[in-house]
Amino acid sequence: MTKIDIFKRLYKDYTSKFLSKIILAALLSVLVAASTSATAWLLDPAIDKIFINKDQTLIILIPIGIILAFSTKGISLYFAKLIMINVGEEVKKIIQTDMLKSFIKADTEIIENKHSGNYISNLNFDVQQITRMLSEAFLSMFKDGLSLIGLLIVMFYQNWKLSLIAIIMIPLATVTAKVLGKRMIKVSTQAQEKSGDLNRYLIDLFKNHKIIKIFQRESFEKLRSEKFVDNLKEKSAKIATVYIRSGPVMEVLTGIMIAILIFYSGKLIINEELGINNFFSFLAAMMLAYQPVKTLTKVNVAINQGLAAAKRILPIIDLNTEIKFNKDSENLSLTEANIKFKNVNFSYKSNFENKVLKNISTEFNGGKMTALVGHSGSGKSTLLNMIPRIYSPNEGSIEIDNQDISKVNLNSLRKEISIVDQNTTLFDDTVINNIKYAKPEASLEEVYEAADNAMCKEFIENLENKYQTMIGENGVKLSGGEKQRLSIARAFLKKSKIILLDEATSSLDSETEEKIQTALKKLTLNKTTIVIAHRLSTILNSDKIYVVDQGKIIDSGSHQDLLSTSSVYKNFYERQIKQN
């Protein structure tokens, strides 16, 4: 994506919405430029009429004119900045909203391929660079560009020979800006990466806080944290260094220009080719022009910084989802809720050569419980996630009641599916809102019934604020069993016909497991249920058990059948008997 393409995209999707405000800021910039130029021009009659000719009338009018010029400049500049700050913040809001929408609709596999800390850095660090480019850099282009033009007119009006010498500084400043701009793209990209590293570390730090303490790694983590912060500090310092590097260059150029101009002006004044009043007006215009030239040099740096950020952000906003919502397609129509896999193959994009599922052709009978058994990494969870289309097959198809799920309305498909897994996902919200997440319009009676069926009522009543208790990040204030039961309550509230259970009773004590098993029996009654469990004791009564190994279903049957026909299943069972 070229710079022109990025500018066009930013204008089309974002800044064009605020074109009237930007035009108003540009018009105010005209007033800033005019008043700045007027200040320099007024020195000509001030010196000529007041100091040389001692004109009593203009001794009052010219100071008033100078006050008006400065006042106009100050007020116009204030409102121009105010407008552009608001425009920048509005654009920031829209870009961040677009990014969040993209995250929400993105395929799960895309989100999983990049650490959330990097996305947070894109959302904050990069968007801030674009906002700064729009609110500060573009205003400076208007304001300082027009001011420079106005002051050059004053300079040429006073003496064209001196003006030609003075404008040599402009191409020199342009070269400086171009060199610094290229450098800024590089260092700002590096800074964004270090910002992402710090965010990533911070998320891991909070997530693994207990582990750090248990393994006594506080000293190690302190050193690591210093390293991440130091790396970001170095890159941020480089950005600031590049940003101010134009300062000394411009100071040296300006000093040389003034020295040359004073020498040449002295020659012209001695030869009576230049009046003192013209010289001071010219000098004032040139000195005032120094600031716009200096600012415009930094503007180029800020624009390159913003363009580099936009180049990283726009692909995120444009993320293409392979799993389409099919909003205009027919809704899934359930009768028996029979699920059928036909020659399904699947590989993750990050490791496409390694097939996770290999030519899976099988059926899960409606209203029955089917179990999946196999070693970790055998493909069980991936197979389960194919049903709600969290992942989509590379080859083959999946049908529910003879309807290809890739062709039906996705919302109608997921409406009929509930999932309970070992990694219970809860929000930093109240108990009731976590349950109602499955059905926001549910009545209190429905919520209470779901909680009761999931055997949550007892522990909820013992919480400080009962259903209004805030449970903390991912339910940190609850035990593992309590979090699992809230997850089951959500599934009860949804009342879907297909239930997916992924290690729903793992890592629980026997008493809690018994409660959860009781709740799951109610939840899965007469539902199409697919369950993954390492504890074979929880699936012995399944209507059918599939043995999954290296992405293939190698055996199937009842518990008793498999004990006699499947060496892999028998090995699983015997090992668990020994462990118990």
The neighbouring-strand residues paired with 564 are none
Task: For residue range 273-316, list pLDDT tens digits in order.
Answer: 777 777 777 777 777 777 777 777 777 777 887 888 888 888 88
Domain tally, the chain: 3
Distance, CA of 578 to CA of 580 (rounded, Å): 5
Q: Are 342 and 396 in contact (CB under 8 A)?
A: yes
Q: Examine residue 17 and state whether it is found in any structural domain, yes or no.
A: yes
Same domain, 385 and 280: no
Q: In DSSP terms, which residues pair with 498 in a beta bridge? A: 417, 528
Contacts of 467 (CB under 8 A, 6+ apart): 430, 431, 432, 447, 451, 460
CA dihedral sign of residues 514, 515, 519, 520: negative
Residue 113: how many other CB atoms lie within 10 Å: 11
Q: Are residues 269 and 377 in the same domain?
A: no
My answer on whether 8 and 43 are in the same domain is yes
Could you tell me the CATH number of the domain that includes residue 120?
A: 1.20.1560.10
Based on the fold, state whether residues 129 and 261 are members of the same structural domain. yes
Extract long-range pairs of 438-443: CB within 8 Å, 24+ residues apart.
438/490, 438/491, 438/493, 438/494, 439/493, 439/494, 442/493
The enclosing domain of 457 has a CATH number of 3.40.50.300
pLDDT digits (tens, 9 = 90+) for 246-280: 667 767 777 777 788 778 778 777 877 777 777 77
User: Using alpha carbons only, how large is the chain's radius of gyration in Å?
Assistant: 35
For residue 111, the SS3 value is: helix
Q: Tell me the pairing of strands 357-364 and 369-373.
A: unpaired
Q: How far is CA 328 from CA 52, 408, 412, 413, in A?
A: 84, 9, 11, 13
For the segment 135-144, the average pLDDT, to the nearest whole number, is 78
pLDDT score recorded for residue 181: 65
Residues 366 and 252 in one domain: no
Compute the average pLDDT of residues 180-197. 74
Sign for the pseudo-dihedral over CA of 483, 470, 433, 437: negative
Mean pLDDT of 377-383: 85
Question: Is the residue at 567 inside a domain?
Answer: yes
Beta-carbon contacts of 509 under 8 Å, excluding residues fewer than 6 positions away, are 481
Q: Are residues 34 and 64 in the same domain?
A: yes
Q: How many CB atoms lie within 10 A of CB 359?
A: 15
User: Do 373 and 449 lie in a common domain?
Assistant: no
Distance CA 231, CA 349 (A): 31
Lowest mean pLDDT among 35-39, 50-54, 492-496, 568-572: 50-54
Choose the weakest-confidence range: 61-75, 231-245, 446-460, 473-487. Answer: 231-245
Of 274, 302, 317, the domain-final residue: 317
Residues 295, 399, single domain; the answer is: no
List, for residues 504-535, the tens digit of each pLDDT value: 665 555 667 777 778 888 888 888 989 887 77
For residue 224, is it within any domain? yes
Band the pLDDT of 495: cuts 50, 70, 90. Answer: confident
Q: Does residue 25 belong to any structural domain of this protein?
A: yes
Round to whole Å and give the CA distance between 37 and 69. 9
For residue 17, what are its two tokens?
């919405």
Dist CA 503 CA 511 (whole Å): 17
Locus of tokens 């390293």: 227
Kindly state whether residues 302 and 329 are assigned to the same domain.
Answer: no
**Is the pLDDT higher at 176 or at 10?**
10
Residue 228: phi, psi to the nearest 5? -65, -45
For residues 528 and 335, give the distance between their C-alpha atoms in angstroms, rounded to a whole number: 11
Percent of the chain with pLDDT over 70: 89
Other Cβ atoms less than 10 A from the Cβ of 97: the count is: 11
Which spans in 318-430 are helix H?
380-386, 410-414
Phi, psi at residue 40, to the nearest 5°?
Answer: -70, -40
Q: Where on the phi/psi map is residue 510: left (φ > 0), alpha (ψ -120 to 50), or beta?
A: alpha
Q: Which two tokens stand for residue 521?
A: 């029996």
Is residue 372 classed exposed, middle or buried when 0-12, 13-18 and 19+ CB atoms within 10 A define those classes? buried
Sheet holding 395-400, edge to edge: 357-364, 339-346, 395-400, 403-404
492 pLDDT above the threshold of 60: yes
- For residues 425 and 486, give the distance between their C-alpha atoms in angstroms, rounded to a whole number: 10
Instruction: Give dist(CA 193, CA 214) in Å, integer.
Output: 31
Residue 575: inside a domain, yes or no? yes
Which alpha helices (H) appear in 358-456, and where do they start and end?
380-386, 410-414, 431-436, 444-453
Which amino acid is residue 265, in one-letter code?
S
Q: Mean pLDDT across the chain, nearest whole number?
A: 81
Structure tokens at 60: 């009052």
Beta bridge partners of 341: 362, 398
Q: What share of the chain is helix, strand, coil (3-state, %, to 5)?
A: 65, 10, 25
> What's the pLDDT score for residue 353?
74
Residue 109 sits in the same domain as residue 174: yes
Q: What's the residue count for the chain?
A: 580
pLDDT at 345: 92
Return the closest-CA partner of residue 274 out of 265, 283, 282: 265
Same domain, 463 and 378: no
So what's the pLDDT on residue 343?
92
Residue 211 confidence (pLDDT) above 70: no
Decide which of 271, 301, 317 is a domain's last residue.
317
**pLDDT number for residue 579:** 55
Domain boundary among 317, 334, 364: 317
Residue ranges of the alpha helices (H) in 272-379? Answer: 276-317
Measuring CA to CA, which residue among 383, 352, 333 is closest to residue 502? 383
In a domain, 468, yes or no: yes
Supply the range of the domain harboring residue 480. 425-495
User: Quick check: 532 and 505 in contact, CB under 8 A?
Assistant: no
Q: Do 469 and 459 contact (CB within 8 A), yes or no?
A: no
| Mean pLDDT within 401-423 | 87
With respect to residue 32, please indicate whether it lies within any of the assigned structural domains. yes
What is the pLDDT, as a whole number, of residue 580?
52
Question: By the 8 A CB rule, do 420 and 504 touch?
Answer: yes
Cα angle, residue 386 at apex, residues 382 and 390 outer, rounded to 5°: 90
Same domain? For 400 and 535 the reply is yes
> What pLDDT sits at residue 17?
86
Instruction: For residue 385, give every residue at least 6 positions away whose Cβ sits within 8 Å of its Cβ, in sequence order, or none.
Output: 108, 391
Which of helix, strand or coil describes residue 423? coil
CA distance 294 to 283: 17
Contact 306, 130 (CB under 8 A): yes
Q: Is residue 513 part of a domain?
A: no
Describe the crossing of helices 276-317 and 138-158 by its angle, rounded to 10 degrees.
160
